[in-house]
Amino acid sequence: MSLNEKIYDITIIGGGPVGMFAAFYAGMRNAQTKIIDSLPVLGGQVSLLYPEKTIYDVGGYAGVTGKELIHQLTAQMQHFDQTLCLEEEVLGIEKLDDQLFQIETTKGAHFSKTIILTTGQGSFQPRKLTLDSAEQYEKTNLHYIVKNLEQYRNKSVVICGGGDTAVDWALTLEPIAKKVTLIHRRERFRAHEGSLEMIKSSSVEILTPFVPHRLIGEENLTSVEFKKSRGEDTIELDLDYFIVNYGFVSSIGPIKDWNLQLEKTDIIVDSRMETSIKGIYAAGDSTTFDGKIKLIATGFGEAPTAVNHAIHSIYPKEHAQPIQSTKLSFED
């Protein structure tokens, strides 16, 4: 039997943090587990978009960078022998019988007794500036994604945005850059209150309410003219790097064609994290239910719920409530 013909207990579609933790936890339940992801590396948006950003809302860490979080999740997964199928996009899912799914991908077919969807917000692209010459400067010093902190060392950095990403990057870059300026089009920011308290007591200069009005420079962007959101007043700021954090546009891709019950682009799940199709579960930012909160921390809680109920659906004599992890041990 070839690798793809093997029938797995659980196939996890999506290799971000929640999918990685789900794979680890499935190993705790002794489930034959596979991860399929379209990206070339595990970690999803965390690996690609903010590997150097400090994350504060994960239990057990006073602060952890995205890169370190993925490193720890990878080490955690390595307690078990999961199958990884990277750079492979899932095109469709077909239910063959009560306990068998066929998963069609860009590289062939996979077979699984249950499926857990941890696809996050799907594929994503940053919301970009629409100003003249913006595309030209994207090749030099206009950035939407921070990949290497060292390039900002001792530089003047201007950041635009009012959410957690913009505020967190300002805090992360403050001790590295020569100067950090944070600009938002409104007086009030949308970031967590704790982060806002931290930035108020930092050296980051905050300017509100302003929006980018004109980009200035030849090959490199040398300054940006900002205009009051309401009014004609303008200011011009010299800079070495301009970081724009206006969020991302996401697409769930083929999921919308899989006959799952959706609320807009979110997958509706019940208290067991089961979708409208029996045997398909979901966890993390791709899901919705009454009172849903979208955080990595909550996704880490939803993953074991999905795994335990998936195991119980395959093996009804197995309890959905597992033994505590403190009763287990791993070999070094």
Query: What per-residue confidence (pLDDT) applies to 329?
Result: 57
CA distances from 234 to 142, 208, 210, 224, 275 (A): 20, 12, 8, 10, 51
Residues 316 and 305: their CA atoms lie apart, in Å, by: 15
What span, in angstroms and rounded, lies between the C-alpha atoms of 216 and 260?
A: 48
Tell me what pLDDT residue 127 has.
Answer: 86
In angstroms, rounded to a whole number, what is the distance separating the alpha carbons of residues 16 and 125? 16
User: Does the pLDDT of residue 332 top 50, yes or no?
Assistant: no
**pLDDT averaged over every residue in the chain:** 91
| Cα 197 to Cα 190: distance, rounded to the nearest angstrom | 13
Position with higher pLDDT, 40 vs 178: 178
- In the predicted model, what is the mean pLDDT of residues 60-70? 93
Looking at this protein, which amino acid is placed at residue 177? A
Cβ pair 48, 126 in contact under 8 A = no
Q: What is the mean pLDDT of residues 204-217?
A: 97
State in Å, rounded, how far the first CA of the chain is from the last one: 32
User: What is residue 35's predicted lDDT score, i.e. its pLDDT?
Assistant: 97
Band (1; pLDDT cuts 50, 70, 90):
very low
Which range (38-47, 170-179, 218-227) has the least confidence? Answer: 38-47
- Give the pLDDT band of residue 3 (cuts 50, 70, 90): low
134 has a pLDDT exceeding 70: yes
Whether pLDDT at 252 is above 80: no
What is the percent of the chain where pLDDT is above 70? 95
Q: Do 122 and 284 meet the contact criterion of CB atoms below 8 Å apart?
A: no
Give the burial class of 134: count Cβ atoms within 10 A of its Cβ; 0-12 exposed, 13-18 middle, 19 or more buried: middle
The pLDDT > 90 percentage for the chain reads 73
